[in-house]
Structure 1
Amino acid sequence: MRRRVVSAAVLAVAAGLLSPALAPPATGHAASVIRVDDLNANRSAMFIDSPAMGRTIQVQVLHPAGGGSRPSFYLLDGLDPGATQSTWTNATDAEPFFRDKNVNVVLPMGGQASYYTDWISDDPRFGRYKWETFLTEELPPLIDDYFSGNGVNAIGGLSMGGNAAFTLTVRHPDLYRAVAGYSACPDTTIAQGATMFSIANRGGNPFNMWGGPTSPAWAEHNPALMADRLRGKTIYLSTGTGLPGPHELEIKPQLPENIFFGGPIEFGVNACVDTFAQRLRDLNIPARVDYSPVGTHSWSYWQDGLHDSWPTIAGAIGA
């Protein structure tokens, strides 16, 4: 039964730029809910005191208006998450789409250029990033407690969030039954240069995430190298080709580079998805991979992917 609490690539970055660790994270207490604000009958904002992150993290949840237990679908944002709401609710029809579905859709707020992972060092630009710990250890029991979750989970995301969804799944295979990536490249070797560039482009030091390009932590977070841990899970991937399609003239809160480079970015994603899909085939791991003959790296196509993937994800988690 839900309870409410009121109140209360750039590889040229020099190795010497690694920042010293800041104050250690708070210890000795579990993550706790500060408050839950009901934004409407189907959407709530949960504010969580996270010991791992050392600050309050907002998570918005789309949920049925009625009672009863249900599974949860953790849906991760892209490189530049919205400040006051997830871009999934700002740029797509996710909120009305899920309104009649028996599932909690969990939308973490914040985490620009974080790749939703635990960084090895605090960053002068971003502070402490311990997203893996938050998403896999601190958050799930609170979602289940406050929003009648039944312990059955799936995870998905677009671009950066899709990369992270696969990384979190192979590192925590017991937590998720299904994983979805929309325009995602779940291979940290192929994506390494782009990943490091994207962090530096937002003002962070990419070496603070998993270390330099030869650090073993990159392999330790590579879904392609740990793909066997995806066996038995429901897997969905979608990608366009980078060619213009039906959505190019729509006004969406795109990343600035996507307006001009969304085609080339998606072309690169397409090649990565194809390589990763071949890796799964080599391991005899079934996956649904939707290739569109058109489509750029942009929100309208990710909305299409969300709609197309839902029957597959719902079937895996019993939603």
Structure 2
Amino acid sequence: MIAALVALSAVLGFGVAVGTGTASAAPVRQTWWLDGCGMPKVQVHAWTRPGNYKTVIALDGLRATNDKSGWEYNTRIQDMASSGVNVIEPIGGMASFYSNWDAPSNLNGQKYKYMWSCVINNRLIPMLDQKGLAVGPAHKYAIMGISMGGSSAMIIGANNPRISHLFSMSGYLNLSAPGMRTAIRVAMLDAGIEAGMGPFNSDSMWGPPWSGRWYDNDPFVQINKMHNKKVRIGAGGGFWGQYNAVGSVGDFIGNVEGTPLEQLAWAQTRAFQVQALVNHVPITTDFPIVGTHTWGYWSDMVWRAKNSGWFHD
């Protein structure tokens, strides 16, 4: 657990941005701006195509940046828009857990309170409705995320009747488990320091560790809100594979740190699997033996979900 706590503050790397289609039959890439519910305006990148059968909102990880989503930097999941699934990527939200916070983060002098749940539920989804992107027979949305965004996707999806599909990849799905609140505290402190923004305070997010808001935002505790939802979870076994090439000392350190991070996510995701079984919530799973806390493995998880038909209603 000590190794996992230290590793949970690791940096997720970023890569190269990709292009988009422009022909009438090809996906269209768009940039939208949303009212931030008291935060600065939120940028959204979208890849859409008429006739697609589902729209998915893709959430970033702990070290989200304000220019592009990690999904766009590191993967080509936007290519799903060429074959059925519109991809929507909100930009930003570092260390936010995509939640409405109790107060601005006081340790780094943040000028505003994070209000990400408001942005996604009350700004983004109504905009998607207006643009006719509630496609498919159910006219509802999918939401997915990695790491921090994985647990966030589960909570947002569980509480929003406009969302039918929930997908967590390497998410921490039992935040009330012993040691997890300390792990989250350490990770949020480190994320802000590494980004030059100063440490984020988890007490400003959901209150002190004994606050009930930690339970409100714990997918494990909120499992019974996921009945009648289509739920998918996944995590790697922590073993190195094709996305763990070592070309520098930084690559080696990132790979080493990614192993305990993923093993902790695997343990938490397996615990959630048992919780779903006990509470009769049907789920699908993706537990490859090979896979660390790295974007390439998450991209593969998304494509496996799509190719299996999971995004269909």
Q: Normalized against structure 2, the TM-score is what?
A: 0.81
Give 3-state SS (helix, strand or coil) of 2:311's partner.
helix
Counterpart of 1:194 in structure 2 is 183
Give 3-state SS (helix, strand or coil) of 2:276's partner.
helix
Give 3-state SS (helix, strand or coil) of 1:149's partner.
coil
Structure 2: how far apart are the matches of 1:268 and 1:284?
A: 24
Structure 1: how far apart are the matches of 2:39 and 2:266?
A: 37
Structure 2: how far apart are the matches of 1:93 and 1:166?
A: 23
Counterpart of 2:124 in structure 1 is 139
Structure 2: how far apart are the matches of 1:195 and 1:207?
A: 10
Kept after mapping to 1: 8 A contact 2:142/2:165: yes
Counterpart of 1:104 in structure 2 is 86
Verify: 1:88 aligned to 2:71, yes or no. Answer: yes
Counterpart of 1:21 in structure 2 is none
> Using a 3 Å threshold, how does the CA distance of structure 1 residues 72 and 166 change in structure 2: closer, same or farther?
same
The 5 A counterparts of 1:150-229 are: 150=135, 151-172=139-160, 174-190=161-177, 191-201=180-190, 202=192, 203-229=199-225
| Segments of 4+ moved more than 6 angstroms | 254-257
Counterpart of 2:114 in structure 1 is 129
Work out which of the residue numbers 102, 121, 134 in structure 2 matches 1:149. 134
Range moving further from structure 2, 143-152 or 231-240: 143-152
Range moving further from structure 2, 128-137 or 256-265: 256-265
Verify: 1:116 aligned to 2:104, yes or no. Answer: no
Structure 2: how far apart are the matches of 1:304 and 1:117?
A: 27
Structure 2: how far apart are the matches of 1:257 and 1:57?
A: 33
Kept after mapping to 1: 8 A contact 2:35/2:123: no
Cα displacement (A) at 1:232: 1.9
Verify: 1:49 aligned to 2:35, yes or no. Answer: yes
Counterpart of 1:3 in structure 2 is none
Cα displacement (A) at 1:231: 1.2
> Using a 3 Å threshold, how does the CA distance of structure 1 residues 257 and 57 change in structure 2: closer, same or farther?
farther
Structure 2: how far apart are the matches of 1:226 and 1:89?
A: 30
Q: Normalized against structure 1, the TM-score is what?
A: 0.79
CA RMSD of aligned residues (A): 2.5
Counterpart of 2:310 in structure 1 is 313
Cα displacement (A) at 1:99: 3.3
Structure 2: how far apart are the matches of 1:231 and 1:69?
A: 26
Deviations 1:154-189 (A, max 9, x none): 1000001001001112222x1211100111122221
Kept after mapping to 2: 8 A contact 1:258/1:297: no
2:99 counterpart letter in structure 1: T
Q: Which runs of 5+ in 2 are unaligned?
A: 7-18, 23-27, 193-198
Cα displacement (A) at 1:312: 4.1
> Using a 3 Å threshold, how does the CA distance of structure 1 residues 204 and 215 change in structure 2: closer, same or farther?
same
Cα displacement (A) at 1:107: 0.3
1:315 counterpart letter in structure 2: H
Structure 2: how far apart are the matches of 1:153 and 1:255?
A: 36
> Using a 3 Å threshold, how does the CA distance of structure 1 residues 270 and 54 change in structure 2: closer, same or farther?
closer
Deviations 1:252-309 (A, max 9, x none): xx99974431001111111111111000011122111111112111011011111111
1:108 counterpart letter in structure 2: P
1:188 counterpart letter in structure 2: L
Kept after mapping to 2: 8 A contact 1:47/1:58: yes
Structure 2: how far apart are the matches of 1:216 and 1:91?
A: 36
